[in-house]
Structure 1
């Protein structure tokens, strides 16, 4: 049996933070206002008329969900129609125009089959844009990091001409379509994703054209597909620009934004995403090669205060048992060590990992130890040389004779 112990000094686990003004649509019809219900019925009528007039195909569909013929029992169709209505503040004709343009774009772009295409961006997979795990509410999470394009050679390779830009945009849509395939499209289900964008080293001028294209494509053709946009490693100038443009954004749009300054990625992400689903480069325990091995083993969160040393004691380890553990501290920059303490009197403590200074960009620690005698493993993180509070997490597994203990 797997078990988790608490650090000898710890704070309660970080809880999900929700912006008070943000309320994600449940898509339950009984939660709609009378005016919104009326708009939905009118939308269905207009869509049916458009099909009768040949403006839209009678077998039109999106993400494998038929839009026509209209059925009172097709909840998934209602979810899609409500997304377009919400995007246009329940203005029916504007919503219909947006839907029709989206259907045309999806056909011309070949969006329905794009997930199966090999676009030749293997070197960008897991680096620039990728789906990775879920947040604490079950939303798929898409990570974006464009810092790699500060390298001029890489930039020219991907964005050197208009054809290369078009190919990159297809790949970026492909990543989003993969995420959408993970959605439920049903009332009360998971109907949107989380976007995490890393602004570290992002060459803002060079990527302006590509960013504008991506933003335009997503706004026009993927309404209400993002539950929250989290920006990490936000430089001062981005915060300043956001402050300038914030008054022009709707309250609903602003309520989806989370801005986290440089160095606070782990603390911010832990509010929304469990550490086992946060990539290692952002202070979590998720590695790309673990994505296809089933659900990740849950981790325990804890906090290391400035000037504090935390010892995690994993007790009850039997002789010949092997213990495997992962531990990470967001932004490390402290001293880490591990030792095994036998239960028997007179036995010596064994230094499994000698104390070493972990730099700010260190990967998560993954190690194992086979005990020769019964005892406990003590993981130590020493933050006494810093005044900065840090979030951290760990998990472990004890095995004996190939049986999980």
Structure 2
């Protein structure tokens, strides 16, 4: 039997144009894979602190020893800068440098000698690679921007988010064009470092600030065998030269066999590493990403509202989040629309597979309801709906999402903007 949501019918969901959206809590759902189960059993994620006062005594001592060892070093690392931050300031009290040094220490379990060796190799690599200048280079990968690896928005805690998707390389012609020989591979690796360096420029490198990024990796259609060489190079570069730069790793569209691999290798991973992993199989992408990233920052291809052009115009307009239970129909009523006003809206439901329609209901009892968008079924994989309507008279707009044919709960989001008619 069809059911109407009492919240949406009697207490319509509203989004005020100038107010920040207040997200409602989304219940955590279990993903039926061993990989997700393992991640759920690991300790809850806790981001590293960079406040010196919050460090253990042994960690404070390691940081102090690291500074003294670096200062006494005859290598060029003692006078080096990294991401525009001098590793050793004249006064010896630059908390930005402390953040950088702590990253190297954590990557080597606070073993000063190992951390120094890692840092010296990283300084040498950055100089040889030209990492400080790579951000401004035109490497000729316009077709990959916004597709293969790209920065897009921020998570709920303000971390920049980097998306990775290598499914386009299942096309052999594309693969050969990008990875056909060693010279092409090296240029691609340089471009991939460029993407990461752009993300790092958004970090604060301050205690209490945002000091790491979020990485989302889409495994759909990824040609594992063909990309093995490139993947190993990327992994090696990042592990050796970008310690503790990733706060959380979210894997989406994970095929079933990855759960088997994870269950095999899980015992050999540290709890610290596993606590950063979030795994989502195909069909749960939007629900997973919404837990960490607001829908206005989630790309449309992953069930969000963010289109490539949006972020060029400043921060996106916040969205309101809601859920659609299995067997439920939700009506979102946008009231107080004046005659002649134009209303523009975006709406998306994670996974769709439900019926969607829009009506304009005039205030005047003598007027007829207008079918703005006739009922239609939207299939899974379709992007967010973006539409507009000019009201002929005062009334309200009703956006309906009908999930009565499904038992599956779905996350959803919408936003709108009303522009009043201009009068001369």
The equivalent residue for 1:49 is 72
1:77 and 2:100 equivalent? no
Counterpart-to-counterpart distance in 2, 1:329 and 1:92? 50
Change in CA separation of 1:65 and 1:141 when aligned onto 2, cut-off 3 Å? same
Secondary structure of 1:220's match?
helix
Q: Is the 8 A contact 1:328 1:364 kept in 2?
A: yes
Once the two structures are TM-superposed, the CA of residue 306 in structure 1 deviates from its matched residue by: 1.4
In 1, Cα distance between equivalents of 2:356 and 2:411? 14
CA distance in structure 2 between the partners assigned to 1:379 and 1:199 by the alignment? 33
RMSD after superposition: 1.8
1:291-306 equivalences under 5 Å are 291-306=311-326
Indicate the residue corresponding to 1:39 in structure 2: 62
2:51 pairs, out of 21, 28, 36, with: 28
1:142 counterpart residue number: 162
Alignment of 1:2-401 (within 5 A): 7-8=8-9, 13-15=24-26, 20-50=43-73, 53=74, 55-69=75-89, 71-401=91-421
Tell me if the contact between 1:14 and 1:301 (Cα under 8 Å) persists in the aligned partners: no
Paired with 1:231 and 1:391, the residues of 2 have a C-alpha distance of: 18
More off after superposition, 58-67 vs 196-205: 58-67
Paired with 1:69 and 1:194, the residues of 2 have a C-alpha distance of 29
Please tell me whether the aligned partners of residues 218 and 254 of structure 2 are also in contact (alpha carbons under 8 angstroms): yes
Alignment deviations for residues 343-402 of structure 1 (CA, whole Å, 9 cap, x no partner):
101210000011111111111111111111111000011111122211110001111136
Unaligned runs of 5+ in 2: 1-6, 14-22, 29-39
Tell me, yes or no, if the aligned pair for 1:7 and 1:302 is still in contact at 8 Å.
Answer: no
SS of residue matched to 1:47: helix
Count how many residue pairs are aligned between Structure 1 and Structure 2. Answer: 395
* Aligned partner of residue 378 in structure 1, secondary structure: strand
Q: Does the CA contact (< 8 Å) of 2:70 and 2:77 recur in 1? A: no
Deviation at 1:72, TM superposition (A): 3.6
Please list every run of 5 or more consecutive structure 1 residues that lacks an aligned counterpart in the other structure: 1-5
Compared CA separation, residues 373 and 212, structure 1 to 2 (3 A): same
d(CA) in 2 for partners of 1:60 and 1:162? 31
Q: Distance in 2 between matches of 1:57 and 1:45?
A: 13
SS at match of 1:112: coil
State the shift of 1:319 in Å.
1.1
Indicate how the Cα distance of structure 1 residues 70 and 251 shifts in structure 2: closer, same or farther if over 3 A, else same.
farther
Task: State the shift of 1:322 in Å.
Answer: 1.0
The answer to whether the Cα contact below 8 Å between 1:333 and 1:358 also exists between their aligned partners in 2 is: yes
Given that 1:48 and 1:69 are in contact with CA atoms closer than 8 Å, whether structure 2 keeps it comes out as no
**Distance of 1:136 and 1:274 partners within structure 2:** 6
Question: CA 1:177–1:252 in 2, change beyond 3 Å: closer, same or farther?
Answer: same
Tell me which stretches of 4 or more aligned residues in structure 1 moved more than 6 Å.
Answer: 16-19
- Normalising by structure 1, we get a TM-score of 0.94
* Offset from partner CA, 1:258-303 (integer Å, 9 cap, x none): 0001111000000000000000000000000111101000001111
TM-superposition CA deviations, 1:168-196 (whole Å, max 9, x none):
10010000000000000000000000000
Q: Deviations for 1:138-190, whole angstroms, at most 9, x for unmatched residues?
A: 00000000000001111111111111111110010000000000000000000
| 8 Å contact from structure 2 (residues 67, 88) kept in 1 | no
- Give the TM-score normalised by the residue count of structure 2: 0.90
Q: CA deviation at 1:22?
A: 2.2
* CA–CA distance in structure 1, aligned partners of residues 125 and 144 of structure 2: 25
Q: How far apart are the structure 1 equivalents of 2:313 and 2:303? A: 21
Deviations, residues 192-239 of structure 1 (Å, cap 9, x unaligned): 000000001111111111111111110110001000000000001112
What's 1:3 paired with? none
